[in-house]
A and B are shown apart, each in its own frame.
Chain A
């Protein structure tokens, strides 16, 4: 009966469209369409078998009840029927396995891509690097914490919005090289039927060819610690020409930023400037673990408030932030943040929450540590 409910419910889903989805998405790629078809095929097969088996059972429950005066028969074996109901399911399974294998083979063939993106998961954000262009950036949850804590009303794309989505061209084969900086994450985009684990130290490959331009949303699909539920993925698929414009633009912006960075080495920023920027960086990068008030989570993430690192030797502090602490959850932020951001966030940590060292850290100090001086 419940199977019938699922059947009718999925029919309902077809008519209701996106607003209340009950069934698997058809997605926007040929592969995702095939996956959807496979899903429906096996589902239907299960429904049919269910109807037959439960049907027989309910008929028996009705006809052969003692209260209707049924007398028990005494048969308890029949090699013939037993062979039949071993062989038939077996044949059905073969019938499913063949198309499934075909789809699988197609999915696992990432050769000859047009565009390659290196996707790196880390607690709790995604990093995208276009292998053929000088473009790379982090992509972080953009929903306000106030919405999560029920202080503001939740907006339409609650938990499914990021600051910088991944952009890919339509109609081209995009290959994803998926890996991780820390624990295992899983890059899942339902509309493409792509889900691949991001394993630290290994690279998994997946690919897609998107047919329609649009904005697609997914999530991290492997338990990766505290904020696993807050690690969405957004992909924008653009027409190839638009895509090309976007990439060129980004490359230009990133090149400029690098130049700025070089200039910065010769400058000293003021305490206010550093603190202001530092607070922003801290909130978006560090607060997930060390908490906004710098008190950390006892036993899991150490406090920075009054900590020996944030009030002691500056060099050591920079070293910890830049290179991370191996064997712990503290990542190496050296390659994640710009020199300016590193300098300001370290300054912030040394002067916020009563850590009043009064010291400023400048880009060149950070650079010195990075260069190993």
Chain B
């Protein structure tokens, strides 16, 4: 890099939004903590309200912060270098999300390959099975836990398979929406982005359907042993991410309608679409490790 290419980096002046964000997280943490305590005891309290206040504050902060940011971006303050900062920042953020899911995938592998096997007497745990859990057999999916809770395993055909197709399709449409943006084809951009969002929502509806089915008909719940735990935590956190991704895409949709973004200036759009692809990849992993295998 020679000096000529080095642009002046935009260092924003004072901003109230970060501290608002910190207060928001504070309220969320206190609220969620108290809410959990209160609901575990069946008491009433302010936890829920504080949590709500925190979420509203967070939302306000996000709107304010992004408004400033969009304003700067539309005014062309953002240099190439700043764009790179955003892009790199976003990729590292996605990496951190990957590691968050890794913790739960780790739990899944451990439960499947190690803990249930050991409870069934494998490795150096013959006595564990013989003395503590006689009669327990390690079969995955774990439909009968060591203490005898039973449930049903979720098959991969049907809803999960449809959902996989839906999400993969949405990744494709998202990609071509981006191509539309790059080539200046606004119509392609808007329509395909719209389709992506609809697919995302469709996915969520199906997912809800699946949960209802699991709870009502299969007796597969968050409480049904480590199989249910990993199933609901993994798909649940994934669902949460799809929700977030959909919201991001909706925001992008409205910005596109307002004529934002072009081939050069499109960080937010790119970030949202990266996020979407990431969520998609996680699903594919889920589909294999949670459902199929």
A201 touches which of B124, B127, B132 (Cβ 8 Å): B132
**Any chain B CB within 8 A of the CB of A197?**
no
Question: For the complex, is B81 an interface residue (Cβ under 8 Å from A)?
Answer: no
Do the beta carbons of B146 and A203 come within 8 Å of each other? no
Contacts of A205 in B (CB 8 A): 124, 127
- Min Cβ gap A301→B in Å is 16
**B125 with A203: CB separation less than 8 A:** yes
> Is A202 part of the contact surface with B, judged by Cβ < 8 Å?
yes
In Å, the complex CA distance between A289 and B108 comes to 36
B131 within 8 A of partner (CB): yes
Complex alpha-carbon distance, A118 and B128, angstroms: 11
Whether a CB of chain B sits under 8 angstroms from the CB of A177 is: yes
Q: Which of A108, A177, A202 contacts B118 (CB 8 A)?
A: A202
CB closest residue in chain B, given A177? B127
User: Is residue A179 contacting chain B, with contact meaning CB distance below 8 A?
Assistant: yes
- On whether the beta carbons of B124 and A179 are closer than 8 Å, the reply is no
Give Cα A205–Cα B125 distance, bound, in whole angstroms: 8
Task: Please provide the chain B residues from 80 to 127 with a CB less than 8 Å away from any CB of chain A in the complex.
Answer: 118-119, 124-125, 127
Residues of B within 8 A of A179 (CB): 128, 131-132
Is there an interface contact between B124 and A202, defined as CB atoms closer than 8 Å?
no
Structural contact, A203 and B119, CB atoms closer than 8 A: no
Contacts of A203 in B (CB 8 A): 125, 127-128, 131-132
Q: Contact between A118 and B146 (Cβ–Cβ < 8 Å)?
A: no
- Complex alpha-carbon distance, A201 and B115, angstroms: 10
When the two chains form their complex, are residues A177 and B119 in contact, meaning their CB atoms are under 8 A apart? Answer: no
Write the B126-166 contact mask toward A (1 if CB under 8 angstroms, else 0).
Answer: 01100111000000000000100000000000000000000
A118/B125 in contact, CB under 8 A: no
Closest to A199 in B: B128
We find that the number of chain A residues with CB closer than 8 angstroms to chain B is 8
Least CB distance, A97 to chain B, in whole angstroms: 22
CA distance A177 to B124 in the complex (A): 12
**Total number of B residues with any Cβ neighbor in A under 8 Å:** 10
Q: Which residues of B contact A108 (CB under 8 A)?
A: 124
B128 close to A202 (CB less than 8 A): yes
Find chain A residues with CB under 8 A from B124 CB: 108, 205
User: Given the complex of chains A and B, what is the CA–CA distance between A118 and B132 in angstroms?
Assistant: 11
Interface residues of A in 176-193 (CB under 8 A from B): 177, 179
Query: Complex: how many Å from CA A202 to CA B125?
Result: 8
CA distance A365 to B128 in the complex (A): 34
Q: How far is the CA of A246 from the CA of B128 in the complex (A)?
A: 28
CB-CB nearest in chain B for A178: B127
The CA of A201 and the CA of B116, in the complex, are separated in Å by 11
Given A202-B118, A203-B125, A205-B124, A177 and B131 touching (CB < 8 A)? yes
Task: Produce 1/0 per residue, A99-113, CB < 8 A to B.
Answer: 000000000100000
CA distance A179 to B128 in the complex (A): 9
Q: What's the minimum C-beta distance from A272 to chain B, rounded to whole angstroms? A: 39
Alpha-carbon distance A89/B125, docked complex (angstroms): 37
Contact with B along A106-128 (1 / 0, CB 8 A): 00100000000010000000000
Residues of A within 8 A of B133 (CB): 201
Interface string of A195-208 (1 = CB under 8 A from B): 00000011101000
* A contact residues around B118 at 8 Å (CB): 202
Whole-angstrom CA separation of A207 from B146 in the bound complex: 27
Q: Considering only CB atoms, which chain A residue lies closest to B129 in the complex?
A: A203
Residues of B within 8 A of A201 (CB): 119, 128, 132-133, 146
Shortest C-beta distance, B14 to chain A (Å), equals: 43
User: Which residues from A are CB-within-8-Å of B146?
Assistant: 201
A-chain residues with CB within 8 Å of residue B125 when the two chains form the complex: 202-203
A179 to B127 Cα, complex, angstroms: 10
- Return the CB mask of B43-67 against A: 1 if under 8 Å, else 0: 0000000000000000000000000
Bound Cα distance from A202 to B126, whole angstroms: 10
Interfacial chain A residues near B119, Cβ < 8 Å: 201-202
Give the distance in Å from the alpha carbon of A350 to the alpha carbon of B127 in the complex.
40
**Distance of A10 Cα from B143 Cα, bound (Å):** 57
Nearest CB in chain A: distance from B43 CB, A: 14
Minimum distance in angstroms from A299 CB to a CB of chain B: 11
Rounded to whole Å, the gap between the CB of B65 and the closest CB of chain A is: 39
Q: Smallest Cβ distance from A320 to chain B, in angstroms?
A: 18
B51 to A: closest C-beta gap in Å: 22
CB distance from B198 to the nearest CB of A (A): 43
Residue of A nearest to B127 (CB): A203
Interface mask (A294-313 → B, CB under 8 Å = 1, otherwise 0)? 00000000000000000000
Question: A177–B125 Cα gap in the complex (Å)?
Answer: 10
- The residues in B between 212 and 230 inclusive whose CB is less than 8 angstroms from any CB of A are none
| Closest-CB distance, A173 to chain B (whole angstroms) | 16
Q: Which of B119, B131, B133 has the most CB of A within 10 A?
A: B131
Chain B residues contacting A202 (CB-CB under 8 Å) are 118-119, 125, 128, 132
Report the separation of the CA atoms of residues A203 and B128 in the bound assembly, to the nearest whole angstrom: 5
A-B contact pairs, 24 of them (CB 8 A): A108-B124, A118-B131, A177-B127, A177-B131, A179-B128, A179-B131, A179-B132, A201-B119, A201-B128, A201-B132, A201-B133, A201-B146, A202-B118, A202-B119, A202-B125, A202-B128, A202-B132, A203-B125, A203-B127, A203-B128, A203-B131, A203-B132, A205-B124, A205-B127
Smallest CB-CB A-B distances: 3 pairs: A203-B127, A203-B128, A202-B128
Residues of chain A at the chain B interface (Cβ within 8 Å) = 108, 118, 177, 179, 201-203, 205
Knowing that A201-B133, A202-B125, A205-B127 touch, tell me 11 more A-B residue pairs with CB under 8 angstroms. Answer: A177-B127, A179-B131, A201-B128, A201-B132, A201-B146, A202-B118, A202-B132, A203-B125, A203-B131, A203-B132, A205-B124
